[in-house]
Homo-oligomer: A and B are copies of this chain.
């Protein structure tokens, strides 16, 4: 960013970067921090290996700020956090520097709410929550958001409510994908096409089943259900449905791996599998928690080799990753569409795939079925 560049691919972001990045002071030190009026904290709030939320990045940064601010300030948390975190962060701030809430500082949770791949568009059109730890904090947060977003899109609430709403949004999405995925697994043993079942079920006026697939990836969805569950665990509540949804979605790479392995054995194919697309969803470069990465691991466990091609992903992935589709086609009988990037689908159109087994967990390239040796969807 200091060089005036943004690595992340988002439609419209480059244009914004060109226009504004030179006017923004970007830094990695706390220099000049005492002069700041509004802090927008966008730090990561991941879960650890045991599924417990990690809020220390936020806590440390609040401590660092608290130690350095000189004037009145508003602190906004954009991160998705366990319920009650914003209140705790306000306490940390007060404990560190002895300043008074609603007098010297104000604290609110204003979660982001955008679709990766459509961040710029949705940043302007989606509703936003302003959840203060006090009424005065809420008011100040609303006033600040008003300077950037349309007033009618800003909703005043309390931090505990906005924290819960944000987690509930993502867990809802995760649960609905899990429903589609469970249905796909059922259709597999019933030997019927889950795509047709969902299409017909969705003719019902109150039914809207999502698309099943290789699993749920990205930075938010795989963790936010757990963060919500961890928020209530101290009160003796465990959750039944949300943990079940996580379990189903996490099981999908194993489901696809099993289908691939069975096909390789049944058809006596070469045990080198070509994975096309590594990102957690089509047309983004983000591979965080991508189910394609889990699939690669699982295929490895069953003794299969993997070759990976993704024209959108810049990171290395060991010696597995190759730089052209040709290399994949040369070494693999089985191709797996891990992420259906437009650019990848276009490249595939010009290739002779008549001897390939094509695995399409998301069912996004069903038209290719007639051009390949065998087409394998999620269920049939």
Contact = CB atoms under 8 A, between A and B. Distances in A.
A170 to B, nearest CB: 9
Interface string A224-252: 00001001100111011111110110010
A251 B241 CA distance: 12
A200 interface: yes
B175 A175 contact: yes
A129 to B, nearest CB: 6
A207 B176 CA distance: 10
A126 to B, nearest CB: 6
The number of chain A residues touching the other chain, given as a range, is 35 or more
A169 B207 contact: yes
Contacts of A206: 115, 173
B247 A240 contact: yes
B178 A241 contact: yes
Interface in A181-228: 182-183, 185-190, 192-193, 196-198, 200-201, 203-209, 228
Nearest to A190: B83
B164 A127 contact: no
B155 A168 contact: no
A207 B173 contact: yes
B162 A200 contact: yes
A165 B199 CA distance: 9
A232 B191 CA distance: 11
A213 B189 CA distance: 34
A113 interface: yes
Nearest to A239: B182
B126 A205 contact: yes
Contacts of A257: none
